[in-house]
Structure 1
């Protein structure tokens, strides 16, 4: 078998993610017939069926599931190589730090200050993003180091936990449950998260970060637009439409009269971690990890 090309991987990933040749072709900016031929040729060269096709649907085979995961990893590595090379080739290289607003436990200024005292420190560029984007930014080379909250996809990453705090339920102050000093997940049965998902007993395995971009249809009458920031989420909670869960370090930043925060005894806590690519050998990254760990250690001792 000849070596695979990045073009072939991109074609397959588009089809596997869309599960529709027409949509995949539109996404790739090409006609459908050559895309179909390219996938058939890929399967022939690999001597394995990656997709099951019927007149009604396209699905992944077991081999296709495996190939999709590895193809994504390979494409990320190719993209990352170019981005990291460009950054290293700058007259003044940067340390690109991925994080989500409010998910630094208020420690970022102190971490940056400690980092700049390190001999290997570089100027820091913040790469801000939404929930779940930080780990992917490390894999595809948009970032060199990240602050992220568990659970996260740690494929290809090393990380060090920095801080663990409870997640709190966020309720309307007028909600009857707000009169209680503590809750269990079962108390919230029947309530919905901002993405429309019912709160359930499996919630510890799927903690919700309220600043995620979500859809609110059917939650509050007349609300059909994507919600993209925490203030919008708080407003929906005040109206009684939804509840959510936030790390304690976020709730301390938002003392609001219409909002109540209550501990949930059986909810998985939030852990803030610093993460970096497994193959990283950068002194600047190592210096940032040391600085972050030292700041959080000093906080624990005080």
Structure 2
């Protein structure tokens, strides 16, 4: 939405979101965790590696829709929101790798394990470089002050 002009400012996550062409300020950096069904054997481990998480045949990673609404090919379930994702994980049909802050408010039936070789995720606030909006400038100042 930021690229098309439908939004004036956005929270993006590097390395997943492309921030090229925007002005940005880093807000927070964190590691990643695997969200697994609470009873899964990997859930008892002190940490995991990406290869271990992606190699579990009975817990594929989810497939999120592309901007055009289509889903990439793959074994994982198609998901559209985090509620659906957490239900699928609790049912033992998927797993997910998410930023560490995803541990907050983890529902019953799920467990989180650090993924030690996953890239760090940096949340940034981004806006078009040509913006002269005082509202955007105020929001950026407030966000970076937190």
Same fold (TM over 0.5): yes
Whether 2:16 is the aligned partner of 1:154: answer no
Whether 2:107 is the aligned partner of 1:256: answer yes
C-alpha contact 1:172 1:238 (8 A) present in aligned 2: yes
Whether 2:115 is the aligned partner of 1:236: answer no
Whether 2:123 is the aligned partner of 1:285: answer no
Shift of 1:282: 2.1
Moved over 3 A (4+): 212-220
Where 1:227 maps in the other structure, the secondary structure is coil
Shift of 1:159: 0.5
Equivalent of 1:181 in 46, 69, 81: 46
Give the unaligned 5+ runs of structure 2: 66-70
- Between Structure 1 and Structure 2, how many residues are aligned? 137
C-alpha contact 1:215 1:227 (8 A) present in aligned 2: no
C-alpha contact 2:34 2:114 (8 A) present in aligned 1: yes
Q: Deviations over 1:260-295 (max 9, x none)?
A: 100011011221110000111222222211110011
Equivalent of 2:126 in 257, 260, 275: 275
Larger Rg: 1
Calculate the aligned-residue CA RMSD, in Å. 2.1
Higher RCO, Cα 8 Å, sep 6+: 2
Which is richer in strand? 2
Which is richer in helix? 1
* CA–CA distance in structure 1, aligned partners of residues 109 and 4 of structure 2: 41
Whether 2:46 is the aligned partner of 1:194: answer no
